[in-house]
Chain A
């Protein structure tokens, strides 16, 4: 468990123990307003994928801003349990479940809140049905549709329609619609990426239409993984909700694809050593900021290069080896490459405004892998 020297709200962030994970509330609120504002007056809503921060206090703040859906998306039953405990009443689990134990837990949750599960094959549907009937509940099921070659999902219209029919006709299950998880942002020009997203959305909506043509009602069409292009599915007729994780906090990997959104979650680190003129060593390595999706950036300093090359040490270098003005004991602010990874490494996040701590929030769903 993380053990910082804790300081109360009202403390200037500069006095926090480091490495400290800090959310700038002004930037967070502006990001949420920007994205949710897009959805106001449209048919689709934004369902926050809260796996990106695992923090119920942040989830509630997202859901309170008009434009949001009535609930959240998570990636495991363990996460669903955490957010249900925090009072969130509508939870979509965006990974299929393949164990009787997890299904029993999902069914238990379904007694007190709305739980939606996804399926892309008939064996999974059968397992869901036997768990639901054993527990005496009815589960809302969405057909997972593949729109990226390396993601789960039913492939082809015929398979999706057959699966929807199977769900509809199975005791204990309620067919409610379709689901897809787009892939990672990927490489290519902005125009190429947009074209790819448009094609994925088109495949998704075509699947919805095929299921409707077969006589089934589709009430939910949930399109995910799209912080970088939420407006594409969000403006498409036939998509009822968009799931995005990174939009409220924005990380270094998303920032270049998301003009108008600002990094809001940063790590404050301390310079512990100045062994070379152009190099500083920080106390923020991989175990505090993550490196699974790349290295961090130094906030507001494009003239510096940061790395989390070591487990417990970070590096800050000048581009050309010229002297760096930072001294031992100074603070440096880092933007993580991937915000979800950074939150996976901390137990606490400091919420700050104008450089002063307003709240300390537990990252309650950290480690809820199962």
Chain B
């Protein structure tokens, strides 16, 4: 039910709340990645869970420096991007339900598809589905390196699992992958290299163990935006998974080469007291699972709480915002924000330039 604004509309004329994408900032971020990876053997595999828009995925791929494909988190997401012509998808997740495995196998007949496993039970299920449909699914072994989420816990598990994949009908063993989230901000590049390397070590060890057992390892997929510049210097890595960089988020502001590109603009609807203002951006329109969003150009105004109805803004001194004034919130977790919207509005020089459909929003199946 969102109204689609006409290109050329001034930002101040937009109905609120609205998710804005600063086109200059987003294009700048894409350019930083393209420049870093254009002449390296290591390439970037853009994670599309962060923007969920095939149009933006193609902007990332067209800019250069990528593997020519994407990483997705869910089968439903992968379907959206394959339908939009993306030829190569890594699903960085485990797929086990029989119906969903069939769906994945069907997708593998139309695109180059890889999926992650950490257990022979997943291998058995994938092989059954691929064989049933006459498809070949590429498989990588997920290695846990920081989150204690999915992924094998010991290097010794890698070679037997790789052999099981190689032996399974309908599957092709491709390599290894891991995912990392930084535990803190690392403004210093050397420190980032040191901390990132700790995470990379185990995935490289898994690769070496598998090769020592006689199986070739074609893909070593790891990293994240926060290690985009240090991971390519680590021998053995073939591709970096990066998603956050596209619009960035407040906790990554220390990576000053990128710019914050996603903002939610709202309108103040009530000023009940001297230090309090109520705005029309609800928690559902931005997602605030951790820290409260930051008020851009804050003027001493901060978010006291996000409610189901709106934003509760407070100030130390007299509240500068009046009823009808606009305010802009910077998200602390961009992919939560992007997943709440059916569209986002690309703006440049104060006007609407493009409206992006968030085609894969809600694709959690």
Contacts and interface: CB of A to CB of B under 8 A. Distances in A.
Q: Which 7 A-B pairs have the closest CB atoms?
A: A152-B270, A291-B289, A272-B94, A273-B150, A2-B362, A3-B76, A288-B364
Interface string B80-96: 10000000000001111
B246 to A, nearest CB: 15
Interface string B150-167: 111100000000000000
Given A123-B324, A284-B364, A328-B119, 5 more contacts: A51-B308, A98-B267, A281-B149, A327-B121, A346-B362
B97 A18 contact: yes
B249 interface: no
A30 to B, nearest CB: 24
22 contacts: A3-B80, A17-B99, A18-B365, A78-B2, A98-B269, A99-B16, A102-B15, A121-B270, A121-B271, A144-B270, A151-B312, A245-B308, A271-B96, A272-B122, A275-B151, A281-B94, A283-B74, A286-B287, A328-B94, A341-B283, A341-B308, A369-B280
A313 B149 contact: yes
Given A311-B73, A370-B18, A270 B365 contact: no
B277 to A, nearest CB: 9
Nearest to A7: B99
A328 B121 contact: yes
A345 B289 CA distance: 14
Interface in A233-284: 245, 270-276, 279, 281, 283-284
Contacts of B80: 3
Interface string B180-216: 0000000000000000000000000000000000000
Contacts of A87: none
B103 A5 contact: yes
B105 interface: no
A207 interface: no
A182 B82 CA distance: 47
Given A275-B118, A344-B284, A123 B323 contact: yes
Contacts of A136: none
A340 interface: yes
Contacts of A370: 2-3, 15-18, 280
A322 interface: no
Contacts of A121: 270-271, 323
Contacts of A123: 323-324
Contacts of A51: 308-309
B345 to A, nearest CB: 12
Contacts of B96: 270-272, 328-329
Interface string B329-353: 0000001100111100000000000
Most chain A C-beta atoms within 10 Å of own C-beta, residue among B99, B273, B365: B365
Given A272-B95, A276-B148, A276-B153, A120 B270 contact: yes
Nearest to A308: B289
Interface of A: 1-5, 17-19, 51-52, 75-76, 78, 81-82, 94-99, 101-102, 120-121, 123-124, 144, 146, 150-155, 181, 184, 245, 270-276, 279, 281, 283-288, 290-293, 310-313, 315, 327-329, 338, 340-341, 344-347, 365, 367-370
B15 A150 contact: no
B183 to A, nearest CB: 13
Contacts of A98: 267-269, 280, 323-324
Nearest to A246: B308
A4 B365 contact: yes
Contacts of A281: 94, 149-150
Contacts of B267: 98-99
Contacts of B148: 275-276, 279
A175 B143 CA distance: 64
B280 A95 contact: yes
A274 B16 contact: no
B307 interface: yes
A17 B97 contact: yes
B334 to A, nearest CB: 10
Nearest to A295: B289
Interface of B: 1-3, 15-18, 49, 73-74, 76, 79-80, 93-97, 99-100, 103, 118-119, 121-122, 125, 144, 147-153, 267-273, 276, 278, 280-285, 287-289, 304-310, 312, 314, 323-324, 335-336, 339-342, 359, 361-365
A97 B269 contact: yes
B272 A151 contact: yes
Contacts of A153: 270, 272
A78 B336 contact: no
A19 B281 CA distance: 27
A17 B365 contact: yes
Nearest to A281: B150
A95 B285 CA distance: 15
B319 to A, nearest CB: 13
Contact of B122 (A78, A284, A328): A328
A273 B363 contact: no
A368 B1 contact: yes
A144 to B, nearest CB: 7
A312 B339 contact: no
Nearest to B120: A328
A95 B309 contact: yes
Contact of B335 (A284, A311, A368): A311
A144 B272 CA distance: 10
Given A95-B309, A328-B122, A155 B273 contact: yes
B305 A150 contact: yes
B182 to A, nearest CB: 14
B150 A181 contact: no
Most chain A C-beta atoms within 10 Å of own C-beta, residue among B147, B269, B323: B269
Contacts of A124: 269-270, 323
A150 B362 CA distance: 32
Nearest to B97: A270
Contacts of B289: 286, 290-292
A286 B304 CA distance: 22
A150 B276 contact: yes
B314 to A, nearest CB: 8
Given A329-B97, A370-B15, A311 B150 contact: no
A2 B280 CA distance: 26
Contacts of A3: 76, 79-80, 362-363, 365
A2 B288 contact: no
Given A17-B97, A98-B268, A150-B276, A312 B287 contact: no
Contacts of A311: 49, 73, 335-336
Given A82-B1, A370-B17, A345 B362 contact: yes
A273 B94 CA distance: 7
Contacts of A150: 276, 304-305, 312, 314
